[in-house]
């Protein structure tokens, strides 16, 4: 075994605690120096000890160096000595530049220099290996180098909250790009050829100065999420129908006056946000076949909602607040979605048959027939070799499921919606486990008493969305390993399910790398579980109507947060660190006793409140 000198110049000269981390890194290859109050990376990380023996990092090659949340102003050229380094995280520091030659010489796969003071990136990058690059929230970074186009393995690029006015034309060379986040910049147009990024799945261009989307936006055939909120976009190109995998479109707070017919033919579209535009109607084309579950058209000039939307029985939310609609009574607009859809169907006239008529029946036999018909349709698609996209039995007041329901789902159904029924059972973990292709499972508004997911050892489930809201009986049924096999979840709604401390502190740990949306309102929480702040990819966090008395400064770790709902809790103040979330677009704090924050500050909105909190940070003048 090699001997490593821990003498004065080496490990022993570092601040208390760091020496142990260095020793640990000898066996793991991972060195974590985050949040240590450092102004520079210790020399012992790079230098061989004076005894002439091997450097500490030669005992086992260092593959990951994490030095985030410090005050480091410079990355030395000596970083080139770490010639096996694959991950370098220097987020939340004071860096103004990077050593070009040194970085280019490393086999880096992941580089995070977000939340610094960078003015530019070096032209030389580790183009042959780089797979993830995060330079978000460098407010003086005004351009990306053209060399970015040579990074043909780059899968994730995040440049949110900078000062970009354009993207490099060479961006179309990043042929492996899956995630691109350029939100909150000053970009006016997207470059020609960008739609050649055939692997792109998540595109976020919100908070820019765009007036249009690319005409050939439909060429993004792999795209599943498009966020272009808070721009100046006036229309959606008809080619959008070519985005056959697009499940979510967020285009609120723009200047749309009409929606194209093509939107209704997007085969996978489940979420459509067109709030705060200038729309005057919701057209019948939205009911052309898209499996819509959420439509937010609030804050427009809508006076007419096409009756055909009543046939969209998969819809579980149709937001129309803030529109001058006089043809629909307010109690229907603000009531259950089922009543609104039934009202719209009633306007279709006597010629309506099929789906609309079937869903008006009140007798249990009619409901059972509707359920059997939906299952039979899915079975027919599967028997023909197709992939049934979804089965929806929402709002049918079912107390049990058809006998062959889960056997049909197991034949390739990707989405199951059983929301707003009276189910107490019938959703067994063993049955769910058999459904290899099931990605969406909606069980909200039932009375389930048994945990519906398999736990413990086993292959991960395919689930990316799970809604259990309103199933209060699951509070006692939730096991400590409730999500142990749901490590691919992106959306989780456990509204109304009371957190039991006896379940252990790591309930959500399996979701740390994937979860982007967590809804946990009305759950009698008196504190936010610490593990929530480890969900680094969260974009939406809803904790409304609890008893939360304090918000931890650790909330600053949720750097990708877009919406934070803390309404109707017991908060008396907010931590200044919350102000560091510069990408936060909506912060709900109404219904709290915030005595330390003046009401006019809160009334000016999220941006003003965040600025106020940042000014309260220590050392801020």
pLDDT at residue 585 is higher than 60? yes
All domains in the chain, ordered by first residue: 1-94 (3.80.10), 361-512 (3.80.10.10), 516-621 (3.80.10.10)
pLDDT at residue 320 is higher than 90? yes
pLDDT at residue 621 is higher than 80? no
DSSP H or E segment with residue 31: strand 30-32
Mean pLDDT of the 319-325 span: 92
> Looking at per-residue confidence, does 377 or 485 come out higher?
485
CA distance 350 to 284: 18
- Please enumerate in sequence order all residues whose Cβ is within 8 A of that of 127, keeping only pairs 6 or more positions apart, or say none: 104, 147, 150, 151, 152
Comparing 104-118, 280-294, 367-381, 533-547, which segment has the lowest mean pLDDT?
A: 367-381
Q: What is the pLDDT of residue 283?
A: 93
Give Cα separations from 306 to 264, 282, 294 (angstroms): 13, 6, 16
Q: What is the pLDDT of residue 4?
A: 36
> Looking at per-residue confidence, does 395 or 149 come out higher?
149
- What mean pLDDT value characterizes the chain? 85
Q: What is the pLDDT of residue 29?
A: 85
Give the helix ranges, DSSP H, for 435-488: 474-477
pLDDT tens track for 60-108? 788 999 999 999 999 999 999 999 999 999 999 999 999 989 999 999 9
Mean pLDDT of the 391-416 span: 81
> Looking at per-residue confidence, does 348 or 222 come out higher?
222
Among 185-189, 442-446, 474-478, the range with the most confident prediction by mean pLDDT is 185-189
Q: What is the pLDDT of residue 71?
A: 94
Strand duo 440-442 + 465-467: pairing: parallel
pLDDT at residue 11 is higher than 50? no
| Percent of the chain with pLDDT strictly greater than 70 | 87
Among 18-22, 27-31, 272-276, the range with the most confident prediction by mean pLDDT is 272-276
pTM tops 0.75 = no
Mean pLDDT of the 576-583 span: 91
Q: What is the pLDDT of residue 357?
A: 34
- Please enumerate in sequence order all residues whose Cβ is within 8 A of that of 294, keeping only pairs 6 or more positions apart, or say none: 270, 271, 272, 273, 315, 316, 317
Mean pLDDT of the 196-210 span: 94
Question: CB–CB of 408/434 below 8 Å?
Answer: no
Binned at pLDDT 50, 70 and 90, residue 327 comes out as: confident
> Looking at per-residue confidence, does 407 or 210 come out higher?
210
Question: CB–CB of 319/293 below 8 Å?
Answer: no
pLDDT tens track for 362-400? 344 445 555 555 555 555 544 544 444 577 777 777 788
Q: What is the 3-state secondary structure (H, E, C) of 73-99?
A: CCCCHHHHHCCCCCEEECCCCCCCCCC
CA distance 458 to 456: 7
Q: What is the pLDDT of residue 571?
A: 93
Q: What is the pLDDT of residue 372?
A: 57
Paired tokens of 600: 């006019």
Comparing 230-239, 279-288, 346-355, 492-501, which segment has the lowest mean pLDDT?
A: 346-355
Give Cα separations from 316 to 31, 339, 417, 517 (angstroms): 47, 11, 10, 17
Cβ atoms within 10 Å, residue 144:
22
């Amino acid at each position: 075994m090699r001997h490593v000198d821990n003498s004065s110049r080496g490990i022993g000269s570092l601040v208390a605690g760091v020496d142990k981390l260095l020793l640990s890194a000898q066996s793991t290859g991972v060195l974590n120096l985050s949040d240590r109050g450092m102004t520079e990376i210790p020399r012992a990380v790079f230098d061989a000890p004076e005894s002439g023996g091997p450097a500490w990092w030669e005992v086992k090659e260092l593959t990951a160096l994490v030095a985030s949340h410090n005050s480091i102003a410079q990355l030395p050229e000596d970083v080139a000595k770490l010639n096996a380094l694959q991950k370098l995280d220097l987020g939340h520091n004071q860096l103004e530049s990077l050593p070009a030659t040194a970085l280019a010489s490393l086999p880096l796969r992941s580089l995070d220099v977000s939340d610094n003071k960078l003015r530019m990136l070096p032209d030389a990058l580790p183009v042959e290996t780089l797979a993830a690059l995060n330079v978000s929230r460098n407010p003086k970074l005004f351009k990306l180098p053209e060399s970015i186009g040579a990074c043909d393995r780059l899968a994730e690029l995040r440049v949110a909250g900078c000062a970009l006015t354009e993207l490099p034309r060479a961006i179309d060379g990043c042929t492996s790009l899956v995630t691109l986040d350029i939100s909150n910049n000053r970009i006016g147009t997207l470059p020609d050829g960008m739609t050649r990024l055939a692997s792109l799945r998540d595109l976020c261009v919100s908070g820019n100065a765009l007036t249009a989307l690319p005409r050939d936006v439909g060429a993004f055939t792999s795209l599943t999420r498009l966020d272009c909120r808070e721009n100046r976009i006036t229309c959606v190109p008809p080619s959008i129908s070519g985005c056959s995998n697009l499940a979510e479109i967020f285009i609120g707070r723009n200047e749309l006056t009409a929606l194209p017919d093509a939107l209704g033919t997007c085969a996978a579209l489940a979420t459509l946000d067109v709030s705060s535009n200038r729309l005057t109607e919701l057209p019948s084309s939205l009911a052309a076949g898209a499996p819509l579950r959420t439509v937010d058209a609030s804050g427009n000039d809508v006076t007419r909602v096409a009756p055909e939307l009543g046939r969209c029985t998969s819809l579980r939310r149709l937001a129309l607040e803030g529109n001058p609609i006089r043809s629909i009574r307010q109690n229907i607009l603000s009531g259950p979605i089922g009543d609104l859809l039934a009202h719209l169907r009633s306007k279709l006239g006597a010629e309506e048959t099929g789906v609309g008529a079937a869903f008006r029946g009140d007798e249990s036999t009619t409901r059972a027939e509707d359920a059997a018909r939906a299952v039979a349709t899915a079975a027919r698609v599967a028997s023909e070799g197709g992939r049934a996209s979804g089965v929806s039995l929402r709002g049918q007041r079912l107390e049990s499921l058809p006998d062959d329901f889960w056997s049909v789902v197991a034949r390739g159904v990707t989405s199951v919606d059983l929301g707003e029924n009276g189910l107490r059972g019938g959703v067994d973990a063993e049955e769910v486990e058999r459904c290899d292709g099931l990605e969406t499972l909606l069980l909200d508004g039932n009375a389930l008493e048994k945990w519906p997911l398999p736990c413990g050892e086993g292959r991960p489930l395919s689930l990316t969305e799970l809604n259990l809201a309103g199933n209060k009986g699951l509070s006692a049924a939730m096991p400590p390993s409730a999500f142990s096999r749901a490590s691919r979840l992106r959306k989780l709604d456990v509204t109304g399910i009371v957190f039991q401390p006896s379940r252990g502190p790591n309930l959500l740990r399996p979701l740390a790398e994937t979860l982007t949306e967590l809804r946990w309102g009305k759950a009698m929480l008196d504190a936010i579980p610490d593990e929530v702040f480890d969900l680094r990819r969260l974009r939406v966090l809803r904790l409304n109507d609890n008893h939360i008395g304090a918000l931890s400064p650790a909330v600053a770790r949720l750097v990708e947060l877009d919406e934070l709902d803390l309404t109707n809790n017991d908060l008396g103040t907010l931590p200044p660190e919350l102000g560091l979330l510069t990408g936060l677009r909506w912060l709900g704090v109404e219904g709290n006793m915030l005595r330390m924050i003046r009401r006019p500050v809160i009334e000016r909105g999220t941006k003003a409140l965040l600025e106020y909190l940042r000014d309260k940070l220590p050392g801020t003048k």
